[in-house]
Structure 1
Amino acid sequence: MTRKKTDMPPPKLPLKLLKWFCKPDYHLDIEGDLLELYDHRKKTLGDKKAKFLLIKDVLLLFRPGIVRSFTTSQKLNHIAMLRHNFILTFRSFKRYKTSFLINIIGLSTGLASALLIYLWINDELNVDKFHDKDGQIYQIMQNFDTPNGIVTRNYTPAHLAKALLKEIPEVEFATSTNTVYQSNWAKGIVSSEGIFMDAKGILADEDYFSVFSYNLIRGNKDLVLEDKNSIVISERLAKKLFKPTENIIGKTLEWKNENLRSIFQVSGIFENTPLNSTVQFDFIINYNVLLDNNSESRDWNSDHAYTYLVLKEGTDTERFNEKIAGFLGSKHPQREKCSLFVQQYSKRYLYGKYENGVPVGGRIMYVRLFFAIALFILLIACINFMNLSTAQASRKMKAIGIKKAIGINRGALIIQFLGESTLMAILSLAVALLIVVLLLPQFNIITEKHLHLNPDIPDTLSIVGIVLVTGIISGIYPAFYLSGFNPATVLKGKFGTAFNELLVRRVLVIFQLTLSAVFIVGFLVIYKQIELTQTKNLGYDQDNVITFQRQGEIDVNGFEVFLSELKNTPGVVNASTIAGNIMKQINLNAGYSWQGSTPEDGEIVFPSPEVNYNFIETLGIELKEGRSFSHEYSNEFSKLVINEAAAKMIGFKDPIGKYVKRNQREMQIIGVVKNFHYTSLHESIRPVFFRYGPNGRTVMVKIKNGAEETTIENLKEIYEKFHPNYPFEFTFLDEDYQMLYDSENKVSALSKYFAGLAILISCLGLFGLASFTTERRIKEIGIRKIMGSNAFDIVRLLTGNFTKTIIISIVISLPASYLLAKNWLDSFAYRIDLEWWYFAGAGILVLFIAWITVGLQTIKAARVNPVNCLKDE
């Protein structure tokens, strides 16, 4: 019966349910009867009642005799269909080799990039995560309130751990360690039975192995550090010192450095520290060794420890932070402006940057950046597959129409096309794994890691997940697009390129090229910022300056002789020393007050390194007024040389000769140096107060240009004369400076490669689309040439649409790349200006590369003989 257009159609859901469970032989007759009954009820009872009764009738029909059989025969049909789909897929790959190669190269390159980045991200996310009590281990952090804002540091007083364990009930275990801040206490020579080894260790109290899960091969974790004369050594050190390695417990070894020379007894052996541990060491001795030999370390106003806690399960860290915030102030009056808080230990690696006392990120920024890069590169590769699949739809139209005409539903076709894209992803994975194996050694060099492919379950599942997601994303649009054609229209040959198809394809190409342009801008900005760090005038001369550490036991007079011999070595311009490191470990324990500072302020903590004579001259720091430390004057211990930032801070118009107080002791300002960058360009220049100190362990030697090799050999001889049994290990100051930008340098190197890969994959897609477009328009080209068009006209015609697409992508990339670049540069206190040519250059480069890619095909098509174009007519 016919139904008026104005009539409301019957509800679809019950009819779909009927089609699903009803036997095919009965379905059409039953559905017809139900529709006639529905129309009758609608006229007599109304729409709502008719719909309700239709639903009721369909549900009542769900009974034996009408419900179709759900048996294993269907499954067997599905298996046969799956086998059939695989055969068709392989035939398609074999028939359309160009498309297959473009897809396999694009997807395998994208997958290889994603896998490399996955390995790197996985390693970054698992740093320090191997401890059994990872979720409960926290490090005590300390905020210093200064006139320049809050400064966050991770070192604390040595007695803090035991005090917190005793007084705060939420603390289950606590330990103090000493590694970097006073590293000279934990570096030295260990020897046994005539074997000498340069080793690095840590000092820790007896609860260390209750907090951290470094596996003990020998010894009891509760007892190995109980005795001050005990030492716990690594498996690696044990094998080097003792041969054979059996029955090592109880054996003695000697440890000596400039602070201490003592005999220790081996109480335990631990497995070598994992590579994903931020702390690497060869031995551990009792922390009391430091306390007994350094009176300053016992003071509550002195920071000589890293403090780690294991909090009881369920502890609210926010309330705990409130509880301990003023803990130091209760122990020492000069610590009232110091506030304590905890941060989960394993998060310190990724979230180690603070601004005004608040965590604001750190290395996690690069983890997120590379995750986005991996995702976008994979998307670019997937888009290639989508575009080529939809562009070549005409090749598959008749096959699709025939399948739909004989009863294959749309769902089966969608599964077929998704299976094709997934199979392509699996084949690409095989190629990608080969690429990863070949590139991984070089990738490890760039990232300075020890990454490798693990066949374990988590990594395997992750890789399988990446491949499946890639296959589904690649095939989902072509699957729904190709399976949606009307079979009658297709079989009549009345199909063409829909506007929506062209629009979607163009949008996808725009997305690809936009990302490529953003990658290029990102690489340029990172490169130029790194270049700024290498070329910016830092305010001191780091060229041809080598640094090395004093070792062993040298008295002050002996060291003066050593320093004098260094200065008199041919090729040496000057030499001096500093306590700590000019860029990494400037002493922050010096608090100062001055006339005009309020009593409420107390002493304000500033970087205040101890330096020797000629330090300022050795580094070429420019003296603005006054003088530097000199042998010609007495009592230089009570003198200060400050930088311009410090002079501005204290507010003296003429600071020379003025006095400030340090620990209630008056110190006179004798000189002001111009500001210089003693930290990275991430931070602004802060006040510095130089004190005189002849006992700095870091030696800095300025060498004449061109005489480096000979001079260093001479310095080595002098060093070994004064430091027997200690190796001469030095670094150039400019290399130390570049280590401040270690993360940025790695990002710069990797971004160069990934930007190139993004462009390569995008160009593959453009090449494929250009090839197919020229193939489809080959007869049009022939006709145009017969009508008088020359090769240039043909090229312009074929590249016109591509050029518009490229220009649109460049326009879109401009604001996106600007915002991303600005966001990254905001982490630097001193940064480059975003020049217009960064963006214009990236756009021109993308346009040029795309033109070349498309032009290769269009020029080839334009030169074809028109007779060959039309010969099949």
Structure 2
Amino acid sequence: MFRHTILITYRNFLRYKSSFFINLVGLSSGLACTLLIYLWVADELSADRFHQKADRLYQVLRNVQRPDGIRTGESTPARLGESLLAEMPEVEYAVSVNSSGEYSGEGIIVYEDKHLKAKGIFASEDYFNVFSYDLIQGNKDRVLADKNGVLISETLAKKVFNTTDNIVGKTFVWNHRVRFEGPLYVSGIFKDVPANSTCQFDIVFNFKKLLEGDRNAEQWNAGPAETYLVLKDGTSIVEFNKKISRHLFSKVPDNKATLFVSRYSDKYLHGRFESGVQSGGRIEYVWLFSMIAVFILAIACINFMNLSTAQASRKMKEVGIKKTMGVNRKVLIFQFLGESILMAFLSLAIATLLVFVLLPQFNELTNKQLHFTPGIKPFLVIGGMVLFTGIVSGGYPAFYLSGFEPARVLKGKLATTFGDVWIRKGLVVTQFVLSIVFMVAFLIVNRQIEFTQTKSLGYEKENVLMFSRQGRISWDAHETFMSALRDIPGVVNASCMFGSILEKDLSLHGGFSWEGQPPGAKEILFPSPTVSHDFIETLNIRIKEGRTFSDAYGEESKIVVNEAAVKMMGFPDPIGRMIRDGQHEKQIVGVVKDFQYGSLHHQISPVFFRYSSRGSDVMVKVQPGSEANTIERLGEVYEKFHPGYPFEFTFLDADYQRLYDSEKRVAVLSKYFAVIAIIISCLGLFGLAAFTAQKRQKEIGIRKILGATQAGIVSLLSADFTKMILIAIAIALPVSYFTALKWLERFAYRIALEWWFFAGAGVAALVIAWITIGMQTIRAAHTNPADYIRTE
């Protein structure tokens, strides 16, 4: 029976080539999109889940109640881990890690004549008992016992020592902006950190080394550590969070932070907290892409269902004869389902080839390193998906075709029921609803991205070059270094700061107070970057009144604010007014026009510029047209003051654009998905139009003999399809509107939703559908009527 089904299916493919081609292209395209999205989703879901204790591994977070809301942070006291291990019986392991502080980050390993960049983190002794990074050499219980011992990755070991054999005990120098005293030696080697680990590093230092270099790091009111716990089996997280909530109150009497734990493997996908509660993150994109995959595959399946049911008349006699000969309905269902499943697996073969071809471009779009490798789990998932596709796309046609009454079929009296027609029409409407939604999404996301790139930010980001000073910085020679930069031909201005104007949360600072301040406002955190003189001039931020910082004055007791800060403080004449910054009195000497600090996801907020002649992050305004020569000279000056460190720079405008990378990827992918959805939908529409024209060919011939015009014939054949597209437009536009409103909520400054965004997508869908239908209807209208009625 199976062999017979295969043979019948093969013959049907040969007999109905156009339907076969349309179904094959539609299903293979839909499956290729679905497979690519599956690889992306699987990679996202795998982040940080490779650790053996992932189900019991938690990070300790802090909630701090402030007047402007609850803020959730990762920084915790260095001694918190050992305190929780000693006082909480539910804790099996506790480690302190510093992966993003002043001590961590990129530095240079110096060994003999080699200078190699590496990224380091600090970790306490049980780090490799908590996190499953495999060791090649060393005992995970002892590798971090000595404060001068470090572990390096397999790749770094080969780069530094040209081998991984017999290098334990070898010493090297670590050049970083914070230098360590005493020799450092290799105590172990670990396998390279997997790509699906959110924490990437090449070298691990002992946490005691950080404590040794910072005398304040062990204070309970400091926060140099990220604290991770492995909890014992059966621990109730709700009860444990209640126990540790006020743990810091016994250590710091005036503490304002409460503690809680969150599963570490959830950090990547669920890393956003609002009002102290986990509220989403990248998981939203996982759901979005998953829904897109389902929609694309659904559009492809709809094509198969529509064409199969529409062309049922071609198989009427086959079904009637088989039923008359005693074939039961189950056999027929098996035959038709087998045909659709075979089509699905044939489409899978083509889709797999498409994935291999398109994967490099898809990786570039998504900034991933995805690989399509065979395995049991992918085989089961993909095989199940294809089987499901075959059953779904062929299920309705199979039950529909197998239900024909043999007597009525053989007499040619099979009537198309009202329900059959509306099911087909409903499926076409569904296809175009999804296609129009994709089109609107592409248009609105692109307009919003364009808006973020062109909106005036209140400062000039063009031709501003940025770099960070690396290694051990001699602050005594800092001004000499800055002066050398300013003396380079082509340099318009140069300044420095700690942090970046693009990172709003990096320089949050509290403790400001002023006369007439409302209760509790002292606890509000404001962006308050520490900048040197010429900072405002380098970015060409406009002055409203007063002056900017100058090296001609003693500026440590001065402050510059923006208009939003003046409005908040309620000062009608702010120049000369005094505010307190913690224990220090500072005088307002200037007010700048409001500008965008950070991205357009955030509203313009009060900004307090504090002064420091130092700053590890440098900005240089370059004369347009002289970039190449100026950058070369900047590199020479940098290497003179930072021997052994490469000169690495970025441009401010490029970094600003990277703030919207996620949105850009959604825009690009929505464009491709919209095109694919339209193509697949139009393929189905093309097939239905062809079948309709063929089915009504005798009617067309008679109408033409009776005087019907070609335009009238085209209008007649297009009317039903036009109605379906108009219904799809009517459904899709409200759905698109509310979806767009929801997406735009993430931006503090956003485009207005113009009527033509939606009308344009609707008209475009209608025109594309007309072109598709017209290819068949015009051909039918031009055919000689004698060819249609010759058999009568």
1:86 and 2:1 correspond: no
Q: Offset at 1:728?
A: 0.8
CA distance in 1, matches of 2:587, 2:276: 32
- 2:70 corresponds to: 150
1:561 and 2:477 correspond: no
Give the letter for the 1:260 counterpart.
Answer: R
- 1:669 corresponds to: 588
Q: Which of 753, 757, 761 lines up with 1:842 in the alignment?
A: 761
Q: Offset at 1:590?
A: 4.4
Q: Offset at 1:84?
A: 1.2
Identity within the alignment, %? 57
- Pick closer, same or farther for the CA change 1:652–1:294 going to 2, 3 Å: farther
Kindly indicate whether the alpha-carbon contact (under 8 Å) linking 2:67 and 2:520 is maintained by their aligned counterparts in 1: no
- Pick closer, same or farther for the CA change 1:651–1:146 going to 2, 3 Å: farther
CA distance in 1, matches of 2:260, 2:447: 38
Secondary structure at 1:172 match in 2: strand
Secondary structure at 1:301 match in 2: coil
- 2:31 corresponds to: 111
CA distance in 2, matches of 1:672, 1:357: 34
CA distance in 2, matches of 1:342, 1:556: 40
Q: Offset at 1:641?
A: 2.1
CA distance in 1, matches of 2:207, 2:571: 43
Kindly indicate whether the alpha-carbon contact (under 8 Å) linking 1:254 and 1:261 is maintained by their aligned counterparts in 2: no
1:300 and 2:212 correspond: no
Which one has a bigger Cα radius of gyration? 1
Kindly indicate whether the alpha-carbon contact (under 8 Å) linking 2:154 and 2:164 is maintained by their aligned counterparts in 1: no
Q: Which of 229, 232, 243 lines up with 2:162 in the alignment?
A: 243
1:637 and 2:637 correspond: no
Q: Which of 782, 785, 789 lines up with 1:866 in the alignment?
A: 785
The 5 A counterparts of 1:376-525 are 376-525=295-444
Give the letter for the 1:557 counterpart.
Answer: D
Q: Which of 75, 93, 96 lines up with 2:16 in the alignment?
A: 96
Higher mean C-alpha displacement, 351-360 vs 294-303: 294-303
Q: Offset at 1:471?
A: 0.4
Q: Offset at 1:322?
A: 2.8
- 1:164 corresponds to: 84
- 2:186 corresponds to: 266
- Pick closer, same or farther for the CA change 1:466–1:116 going to 2, 3 Å: same
CA distance in 2, matches of 1:539, 1:768: 55
Kindly indicate whether the alpha-carbon contact (under 8 Å) linking 2:718 and 2:773 is maintained by their aligned counterparts in 1: yes
Q: Which of 255, 272, 277 lines up with 1:358 in the alignment?
A: 277
CA distance in 2, matches of 1:590, 1:230: 38
CA distance in 2, matches of 1:645, 1:159: 39
1:767 and 2:690 correspond: no
1:367 and 2:286 correspond: yes
Q: Offset at 1:598?
A: 6.9
Q: Offset at 1:706?
A: 2.1
The Cα offsets for residues 525-577 of structure 1, whole Å up to 9 and x where unpaired, read as: 11111111111122221111111110223322322111111112111111111
- 2:116 corresponds to: 197
Give the letter for the 2:775 counterpart.
Answer: L
- 1:594 corresponds to: 514
- Pick closer, same or farther for the CA change 1:529–1:586 going to 2, 3 Å: same
Secondary structure at 1:328 match in 2: helix
Secondary structure at 2:409 match in 1: helix
The 5 A counterparts of 1:578-593 are 578-584=497-503, 586-588=506-508, 590-593=510-513
Q: Offset at 1:752?
A: 0.8
Higher mean C-alpha displacement, 261-270 vs 581-590: 581-590
Q: Offset at 1:671?
A: 2.5
TM-score by length of 2: 0.97
Secondary structure at 2:448 match in 1: helix
Secondary structure at 1:295 match in 2: coil
- 2:541 corresponds to: 621
Q: Offset at 1:381?
A: 0.4
Kindly indicate whether the alpha-carbon contact (under 8 Å) linking 1:129 and 1:346 is maintained by their aligned counterparts in 2: yes
Give the letter for the 1:141 counterpart.
Answer: L
- Pick closer, same or farther for the CA change 1:730–1:199 going to 2, 3 Å: same
- Pick closer, same or farther for the CA change 1:741–1:377 going to 2, 3 Å: same
Kindly indicate whether the alpha-carbon contact (under 8 Å) linking 1:303 and 1:589 is maintained by their aligned counterparts in 2: no
The 5 A counterparts of 1:607-756 are 607-634=527-554, 636-756=555-675
CA distance in 2, matches of 1:208, 1:647: 48
Larger RCO: 1 or 2 (CA < 8 Å, sep 6+) = 2
Higher mean C-alpha displacement, 654-663 vs 431-440: 654-663
- Pick closer, same or farther for the CA change 1:705–1:335 going to 2, 3 Å: farther
The Cα offsets for residues 350-380 of structure 1, whole Å up to 9 and x where unpaired, read as: 1122223222211111111110110011010
Secondary structure at 2:741 match in 1: helix
CA distance in 1, matches of 2:541, 2:220: 35
Q: Which of 212, 227, 230 lines up with 1:310 in the alignment?
A: 230
What CA RMSD, in Å, does the superposition of the two structures yield over aligned residues? Answer: 1.8
Q: Offset at 1:589?
A: 5.1
Kindly indicate whether the alpha-carbon contact (under 8 Å) linking 1:186 and 1:203 is maintained by their aligned counterparts in 2: no
Give the letter for the 2:348 counterpart.
Answer: L
Q: Offset at 1:292?
A: 2.0
Kindly indicate whether the alpha-carbon contact (under 8 Å) linking 1:107 and 1:381 is maintained by their aligned counterparts in 2: yes
- Pick closer, same or farther for the CA change 1:387–1:851 going to 2, 3 Å: same
CA distance in 2, matches of 1:230, 1:347: 31
Higher mean C-alpha displacement, 257-266 vs 239-248: 257-266
Higher mean C-alpha displacement, 641-650 vs 844-853: 641-650
- Pick closer, same or farther for the CA change 1:614–1:299 going to 2, 3 Å: farther
CA distance in 1, matches of 2:624, 2:402: 73
CA distance in 2, matches of 1:558, 1:537: 36
- Pick closer, same or farther for the CA change 1:326–1:648 going to 2, 3 Å: farther
Q: Offset at 1:681?
A: 2.0
Give the letter for the 2:193 counterpart.
Answer: T
- Pick closer, same or farther for the CA change 1:296–1:668 going to 2, 3 Å: farther
CA distance in 2, matches of 1:348, 1:623: 42
CA distance in 2, matches of 1:339, 1:739: 34
Kindly indicate whether the alpha-carbon contact (under 8 Å) linking 1:191 and 1:254 is maintained by their aligned counterparts in 2: yes
Q: Which of 578, 593, 606 lines up with 2:526 in the alignment?
A: 606
- 1:541 corresponds to: 460
Q: Which of 233, 239, 258 lines up with 1:339 in the alignment?
A: 258
Q: Offset at 1:682?
A: 2.0
The Cα offsets for residues 377-403 of structure 1, whole Å up to 9 and x where unpaired, read as: 101000000010011101111111122
Structure 2, unmatched stretches of 5+, are none
Give the letter for the 2:479 counterpart.
Answer: E
Higher mean C-alpha displacement, 507-516 vs 288-297: 288-297
Kindly indicate whether the alpha-carbon contact (under 8 Å) linking 1:351 and 1:359 is maintained by their aligned counterparts in 2: yes
- 1:68 corresponds to: none
